[in-house]
Structure 1
Amino acid sequence: MNIETVWREEDGKRLAATLWRAGDGYRTISSAMLGGGIRTARWVLNAQVAGAYSRTDPAVHLAELAAAYGLEGPGVGMLTAASVSRTMRRDDEGVHVSATVGLRVPTWAAAPAGAPDPELAPLDGTSRPAWTPGTVNIVVAVPVPLDDAALVNAVVTATEAKTQALLEAGYPCTGTASDAVCVAAATGAEPEVFAGPRSTWGARIARAVHAAVHAGALDYTRYLDSRD
């Protein structure tokens, strides 16, 4: 996975994005705003936005950015308020992972019904804020084909590894309320049918995601400490 970092000026800030120009031959499963679901994809874009992001059409915004970067054909696009220039990359026996980790509002997936969510708290005390982009975005590249069920299993495995890494890094949470993930699997051969954490490729996904997210969480802690 050859990822490049590009920069742009937006909302008065210099913002980074990572691009993976994968080309033909990949099938993706993603929760991303642009290119989500199961599909073929030629590229993956993870773009940083300002913390006070106020656009209500993130998919359109991502399509505009993709066009500006010369990305053609179907692809996957994600937004994050985390520092994309601090993206962590880890590999494990052919699996490649990149992760941006920002934990401004660590969140448990299951919370009591009706409990206030700090991610959705009004900015001015009276009105709901604009949509807040995800803060833990994960891209996984697997060099073998995965069938549909294995693709879903790979997302579960990556999510479990993410949560394990966050807990081990000292963050009592399962992630944030708007995390995104993309798993890209090669095409062209007989697909693998398993991607759980004890399968051959699932174990590699788990280790690579865990390593990237754990490193990103520790880096985020150092970043917070440096601001004190």
Structure 2
Amino acid sequence: MSAVIPPPRTTTGLLPPQQLTRTEDGEQLHALLWRAGAGWRMISSAVLGGGLGERAWVLNAQVSHGYRRTDPDRHLADLAAEAHMEGPGVGLMTAADVRAYGHAHDGGVEATATAGLGVRGWAASPAQGAITPARPGTINIVVALPVALTDAALVNAVVTATEAKVQALLNTGHDCSGTPTDAVCIAARAPCPGEEPHAFAGPRSLWGARLARAVHRAVRTAVHAP
């Protein structure tokens, strides 16, 4: 996997994404890599590194539209190792070309989104759920906040990001709430000794409002990307 030289570290948010390129089965595929480093707590629905805990990097990897592997967590771990990532991290997957990502910031909050809308619909559907995962269309959202959040606020941030995503889809004329495989990763600073983490991240809270606006713009940009 080849890579460009990453830009300098910012003082508040995650690094701007480093673009990686690899070849699998004769197809050139791409990935975005954030080298966050120490001092971050993340909550994510990702297949690799999902849940809540300290994480040092985030990988958003493009896969083929005919992806058939049944071990995406192992696949993502291998890709991270090829990029020389060590320690716990988050691995996301999409069939979209991740180079066409949307990025936005608002009051110190950064959001990046990639959007594949080939398989989309409404969350509440009369169709029966399936045991096997759906094909990877996927809207992936990565958000970084420069402040510490409580566990409950991190969960609240996931809800806020999801609401902003749906708002962006409706605002861009898409009659859907997303795809069956959408994923999100929220990164917040680990609290310093004696620091009181922020307890709220709903859309009308200080940091939740900034998060919502950043995600809304990032998703809109990604959806409109060629």
**Conserved 8 A contact 1:56-1:131:** no
Q: Which moved more, 1:21-30 or 1:7-16?
A: 7-16
CA separation in 1, counterparts of 2:62 and 2:220?
20
Task: Give the alignment of 1:24-39 within 5 angstroms.
Answer: 24-39=38-53
1:47 alignment partner, one of 61, 69, 87: 61
Find the counterpart in structure 1 of residue 97 from structure 2.
83
Find the counterpart in structure 2 of residue 226 from structure 1.
none
2:189 alignment partner, one of 186, 191, 207: 186
1:92 alignment partner, one of 92, 103, 106: 106
> Shift of residue 87 of structure 1?
1.1
SS state of the match for residue 86, structure 1?
A: coil
Unpaired runs of 5+ residues, structure 1, are: 121-127, 224-228
**Conserved 8 A contact 1:134-1:180:** no
State the Cα deviation string for residues 56-111 of structure 1 (Å, max 9, x = none): 10000011001000000000001000110101111111001110011112210001
**Conserved 8 A contact 2:94-2:138:** yes
Find the counterpart in structure 2 of residue 124 from structure 1.
none
When normalised by structure 1's length, the TM-score is 0.88
What number of residue pairs does the alignment pair up? 209
State the Cα deviation string for residues 116-167 of structure 1 (Å, max 9, x = none): x8xx7xxxxxxx9875235100000000000010000000000000000000
CA separation in 1, counterparts of 2:197 and 2:66?
43
CA separation in 2, counterparts of 1:48 and 1:26?
24
**Conserved 8 A contact 1:140-1:183:** yes
Find the counterpart in structure 2 of residue 135 from structure 1.
138
CA separation in 1, counterparts of 2:215 and 2:68?
30
Q: Which moved more, 1:202-211 or 1:104-113?
A: 104-113
**Conserved 8 A contact 2:147-2:188:** yes
**Conserved 8 A contact 1:81-1:133:** yes
Unpaired runs of 5+ residues, structure 2, are: 1-13
Runs of 4+ in 1 over 4 A off after TM superposition: 128-131
The change in CA–CA distance for 1:11 and 1:131 in structure 2 (over 3 A counts) is farther
Find the counterpart in structure 1 of residue 5 from structure 2.
none
CA separation in 2, counterparts of 1:132 and 1:24?
33
- What do you get for the CA RMSD once the two structures are aligned? 1.6
| 2:189 corresponds to 1:175 | no
